């Protein structure tokens, strides 16, 4: 997809962070933009920011407040998009996400259901709701694309963010599946896998629904404040959107938005190869022992870990009697 002028973009999580950066950039590129969020106040704040950045008219922006995991509400949002802008999106960008931190063995059903509901099943909802509409309206007629904001966590396991990493790994796989399946219709798929971004994901727990409140993880407002400082050092959302736009224009499946992407992916692949053989497992065990003995990696964790670790970042609730005491907030 190379021509964006006059086309429609639908961006989930478009009221802040990465989604807002995408809304700004693609609005400036001449698109009519739909932004969605569960937070009305964030939507109200985002619209004038997008207009100020892009110079577009207010009629070219549609803000929709709803829960992406509510399929009926999502279908109504898709209908509203067609009613206002005359058709389904030419560019669907699925960016909304949440995260929570703690040992996998401390995870509750609610931890998995909340994180995977937003990070995976909302993406599934987007595919199932919009792909048929996009095929009917645009297949092999005009530029049409689907993009997903995944995460570097999707390339590997994460011992303090299991639901998040699992959801992003599934999103990466799903993206590749749809990339192959939609080729006959002329619809491309691009997934970007960033590390830290300047977003408000540190505040995600504040919006965890009451029915998912039973968490096995330890979390406090103090930890959120420290994580906010860390997030603010992340990549600028518009810069991330520029990486995504280039990937879309190149019809690229995966975008790793860093200059050393080849080395980064290479290390992940090398580890996967090692984990698939007895000899490789021995190599990994030796490397892990060396890192522990020499504290390799301890010095590059930065100010965030220095502040957050003593506060209990990534630990379990103290009352979980099956969790190793070293992994609990005491």
Do residues 149 and 254 make contact, with C-beta atoms less than 8 angstroms apart? no
CA gap 91, 11 in Å, rounded: 8
**Is 207 one of the catalytic residues?**
no
Do residues 174 and 147 make contact, with C-beta atoms less than 8 angstroms apart? no
CA distances from 91 to 8, 31, 244, 249, 257 (A): 6, 9, 12, 12, 20
Give the number of residues written for the chain: 330
Query: Which helix (DSSP H) or strand (DSSP E) does residue 72 occupy?
Result: helix 71-85
Which pair of structure tokens corresponds to residue 179? 């990339």
CA gap 97, 99 in Å, rounded: 7
Q: Which residues contact 206 (CB under 8 A, 6 or more apart)?
A: 224
CA gap 142, 149 in Å, rounded: 23
Please report where in the chains the tokens 């504290």 appear, as a residue: 295
Q: Which residues contact 2 (CB under 8 A, 6 or more apart)?
A: 143, 249
Task: Kindly name the residue from 164, 178, 179, 217 that is annotated as catalytic.
Answer: 164
Question: What are the φ/ψ torsions at residue 174 (nearest 5 degrees)?
Answer: -60, -40
DSSP SS3 for 318? coil
By annotation, the residues acting in catalysis are: 164
């Amino acid at each position: 997809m190379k021509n964006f002028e006059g086309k429609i973009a639908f961006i989930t999580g478009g009221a802040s962070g990465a989604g807002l950066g995408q809304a700004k950039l693609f609005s400036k590129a001449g698109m009519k933009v739909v932004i969605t969020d569960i937070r009305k106040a964030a939507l109200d704040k985002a619209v004038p920011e997008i207009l100020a950045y892009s110079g577009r008219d207010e009629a070219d922006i549609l803000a929709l407040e709803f829960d992406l995991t509510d399929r009926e509400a999502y279908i109504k949002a898709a209908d509203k998009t067609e009613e206002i802008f005359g058709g389904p999106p030419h560019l669907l960008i699925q960016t909304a996400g949440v995260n929570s931190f703690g040992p996998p063995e401390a995870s509750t059903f609610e931890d998995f259901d909340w994180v995977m509901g937003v990070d995976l099943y909302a993406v599934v909802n987007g595919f199932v709701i919009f792909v048929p509409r996009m095929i009917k309206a645009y297949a092999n007629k005009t530029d049409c694309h689907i993009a997903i904001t995944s995460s570097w966590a999707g390339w590997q396991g994460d011992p303090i963010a299991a639901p998040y990493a699992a959801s992003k790994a599934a999103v990466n796989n799903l993206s590749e599946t749809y990339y192959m399946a939609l080729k006959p219709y002329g619809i491309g798929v691009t997934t970007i896998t960033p590390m830290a971004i300047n977003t408000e994901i540190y505040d995600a727990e504040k919006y965890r629904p009451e029915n998912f409140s039973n968490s096995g993880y330890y979390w406090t407002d103090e930890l959120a404040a420290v994580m906010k400082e860390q997030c603010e050092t992340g990549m600028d959302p518009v810069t991330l959107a520029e990486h995504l736009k280039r990937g879309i224009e190149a019809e690229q499946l995966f975008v790793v938005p860093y200059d050393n992407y080849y080395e980064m992916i290479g290390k992940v692949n090398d580890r996967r190869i090692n984990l698939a053989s007895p000899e490789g497992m021995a190599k990994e065990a030796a490397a892990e022992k060396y890192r522990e003995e020499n504290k390799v990696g301890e010095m590059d964790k930065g100010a965030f870990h220095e502040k957050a670790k003593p506060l209990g970042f990534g630990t379990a609730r103290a009352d979980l009697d099956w969790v190793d005491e070293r992994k609990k907030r005491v």
